[in-house]
Amino acid sequence: MTTFRVAIAGFGGVGRATANLLLSRRGRYREVYGADVRLVAVCGSRAGAVSADGLEAAQLATLEDGLSGPALIEESAADILIEAGPSDFRTGGPGLAYLRGSLSAGRDTIVISKGALVHSGRELKALAESSGALLKLSGAAAAALPTIDLVVHSLKGCEVLEVEGILNATTNYLLDAMTTRRVGFDEALREAQLGGFAEADPRNDTEGWDTACKLLLIANFGLSADLTMDDLDVEGIQSVTTERIETWRGQGLVPKLVGRLWRENGAIRAAVGIRTYPPADPFANIRGKDKAIRIVTDAMGETLAIGSGKEPLATAAAALKDLEHILAARTS
Ligand SMILES: NC(=O)c1ccc[n+]([C@@H]2O[C@H](COP(=O)([O-])OP(=O)(O)OC[C@H]3O[C@@H](n4cnc5c(N)ncnc54)[C@H](OP(=O)(O)O)[C@@H]3O)[C@@H](O)[C@H]2O)c1
């Protein structure tokens, strides 16, 4: 039995869901991988909990002030970090310091927040390569919808020619409500905010930035591109009017906010914008908060995946899928 010590930095909805799911799956890790997985540290921005023997669920209810920061992760002697703090692609956010510390120390790292990977992906990838740490990001790259795993594992050996994705649940919900129920943008947004899946300030979603971040991660970490946000044309849905929806309806078309990758003159290009689909196209039938990805390859043709997991459990499960990949790699 090999012991794996896991720390979680960022202990909000997703961090807590990940901790609880991990604790409930310890038996599985023992049986399948011969791995004794212990949760040795968790922390939010100001408080945390630590135990070398492994924290139990009851110990996660009350955190101790002052236990936080990359130094805490270091002191916990964690073998694996799961980073689930706030995402800020313009600065890298608080996650950047955790990821730099962890990857340079050779610690296998699972990233759920997109910001640092978008802001400093090239540097973080290089740190992982030079230290030998495994860097996984299923939770950051559309979580409940498999994206990077599809291109890296399922379509291995094929050349990916094009990727098209409905990658943001909020914008899909808004456009779907406007199209199928004929509600206006503001009303649909209020519904999404009341439902708890649109932020009070929804611009990161509605202006297309969240889709752009996920697309960039798929490109850089799935297809070995080296794109920055400046390489992407990004259009959102904030100025879609009911009149425009009616025009598309009259033409028999369904609008979706889509991130797209394609090859041009040997380079990977990327853009986010509204595309319209005829009713028979699978993308026209991605409803509500669902997400989808369509990947075209040279040898396996077209692959389509649709994700409809409930949050935050689905994101926690995506991060723990990464954990199982790490356990498999480190126990083989
Ligand atoms: N919610 C979803 O369904 C979903 C899906 C996919 C990806 N994500 C990503 O997952 C991440 C977490 O989302 P969430 O919904 O759990 O957010 P959340 O509830 O706001 O939690 C964020 C956590 O990060 C902590 N934090 C802030 N600064 C920190 C620092 N310097 N060091 C350590 N922790 C720090 C906060 O601490 P305090 O508690 O002290 O404020 C809080 O515990 C985000 O990046 C989000 O984009 C979320």
- The predicted-structure confidence for 87-124, as pLDDT tens digits, reads as follows 999 999 999 999 999 999 999 999 999 999 999 999 99
Instruction: Give pTM, 2 decimals.
Output: 0.97
Please report, in range form, the residues annotated as the binding site for L-homoserine: 199
- HEC letters along 70-86: HHHHHHCCCCEEEECCC
pLDDT (0 to 100) of residue 224: 96
Q: How confident is the model at residue 237 (pLDDT cuts 50, 70, 90)?
A: very high
CATH class for the region spanning 2-144+312-331: alpha beta
Average pLDDT, the chain: 97
pLDDT one-digit tens code per residue, 74-87 = 999 999 999 999 99
Q: How confident is the model at residue 26 (pLDDT cuts 50, 70, 90)?
A: very high
Residue 314 CA to ligand 1 centre (angstroms): 15
Q: Of ligand 1's atoms, which has the minimum distance to the CA of residue 318?
A: 6
Residue with the smallest CA separation from ligand 1 atom 18 is 12
Residue 49 CA to ligand 1 centre (angstroms): 16
Q: How confident is the model at residue 314 (pLDDT cuts 50, 70, 90)?
A: very high
Choose which residue among 8, 42, 45, 217 to substitute to test ligand 1 binding: the one with the highest number of ligand atoms within 8 A of its C-beta: 45
Q: How confident is the model at residue 70 (pLDDT cuts 50, 70, 90)?
A: very high
pLDDT one-digit tens code per residue, 129-162 = 999 999 999 999 999 999 999 999 999 999 999 9
The reply to whether 2-144+312-331 and 148-307 are identical in fold is: no
Find out whether the peptide bond into 278 is cis, omega within 30 degrees of 0: no
Instruction: Write down the domain spans for the chain.
Output: 2-144+312-331, 148-307
Residue with the smallest CA separation from ligand 1 atom 45 is 113
Name which of 145, 138, 140, 144 is nearest 324 in CA terms.
Answer: 138
**Which residue matches tokens 């997991």?**
309
**Which residue matches tokens 């995402």?**
87
pLDDT (0 to 100) of residue 247: 98
Active site residue 291: no
Mean pLDDT across 215-229: 98
User: DSSP strand E in 91-183: where?
Assistant: 108-111, 135-136, 160-166
pLDDT (0 to 100) of residue 6: 98
Residue 3 CA to ligand 1 centre (angstroms): 27
Name which of 303, 327, 272 is nearest 150 in CA terms.
Answer: 303
Please report, in range form, the residues annotated as the binding site: 10-15, 114, 199
pLDDT (0 to 100) of residue 255: 98
For domain 148-307, which CATH number applies: 2.30.40.10, 3.30.360.10, 3.40.50.12500, 3.40.50.1110? Answer: 3.30.360.10
pLDDT one-digit tens code per residue, 273-295 = 999 999 999 999 999 999 999 99
Q: Of ligand 1's atoms, which has the minimum distance to the CA of residue 143?
A: 6
Q: How confident is the model at residue 172 (pLDDT cuts 50, 70, 90)?
A: very high
